[in-house]
């Protein structure tokens, strides 16, 4: 049992170190995937489009760096900026969303990449604290399992 807990502890420790070391690559990968999701965005209910809409609605952002990122997409030429960027759903018409100058007043102008990464970084202290707490419980479990094993081994020889 102690060896199994030690193995799990080491896996979690390695995952944390790898996540910390490669955090810049993770950000770059996220940014490129977000750009791809914008490029391939469409009205049909695919996962990527739904994810983009959810991020934009939840974080009150639009595009990757800013709302003008949508101007480079095929979706923009057909329908303009998506409705998930609108500050108020009642005050956003398709005509306004097709004109970047009018849209600037009706949509969120901040990009989602910065908001997502800053949100993740602000929550990292909570994640690190929880992980540290779990690691401490695992270490206590490893120590107690070793003590129990030692106790059982010592008592077997005394009973004979």
List the single range of 3-7, 17-21, 69-73, 137-141 with lowest mean pLDDT: 17-21
pTM, two decimal places: 0.68
Taking the C-alpha atoms of residue 16 and residue 38, their distance in angstroms, rounded to an integer, is 30
The per-residue pLDDT for 7 is 92
Taking the C-alpha atoms of residue 80 and residue 94, their distance in angstroms, rounded to an integer, is 7
- Please identify which residue in the block is written with the tokens 């990527």: 48
**Residue 138, exposed/middle/buried by CB under 10 A (0-12, 13-18, 19+)?**
middle
Alpha helix ranges (H) inside 44-111: 47-59, 74-79, 94-98, 100-106
How many other CB atoms are there within 10 angstroms of residue 24's CB atom?
8
The per-residue pLDDT for 158 is 59
- Domains of the chain, start order: 1-158 (1.10.1450.10)
Helices (H) and strands (E) in the chain, counts: 7, 0
For 22, phi then psi, to 5°, come to -100, 25
pLDDT tens for 95-119 read 888 888 888 888 998 999 998 888 8
**Confidence band of 42 (pLDDT split at 50, 70, 90):** confident
């Amino acid at each position: 049992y102690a060896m199994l807990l030690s193995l799990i502890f080491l896996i979690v420790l390695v995952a944390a170190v790898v996540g910390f070391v490669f955090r810049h690559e993770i950000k770059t990968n996220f940014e490129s995937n977000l750009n791809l999701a914008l490029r391939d965005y469409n009205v049909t209910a695919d996962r990527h489009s739904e994810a983009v809409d959810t991020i934009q609605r939840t974080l009150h952002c639009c595009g990757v760096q800013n709302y003008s990122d949508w101007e480079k997409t095929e979706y923009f030429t057909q329908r303009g900026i998506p409705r998930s960027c609108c500050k108020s759903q009642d005050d956003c018409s398709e005509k306004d969303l097709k004109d970047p100058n009018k849209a600037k007043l009706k949509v969120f102008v901040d990009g989602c990449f910065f908001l997502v990464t800053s949100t993740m970084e602000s929550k990292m202290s909570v994640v690190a604290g929880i992980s540290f707490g779990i690691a401490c419980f695992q270490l206590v479990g490893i120590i107690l399992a070793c003590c129990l094993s030692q106790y059982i081994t010592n008592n077997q020889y005394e009973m004979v």
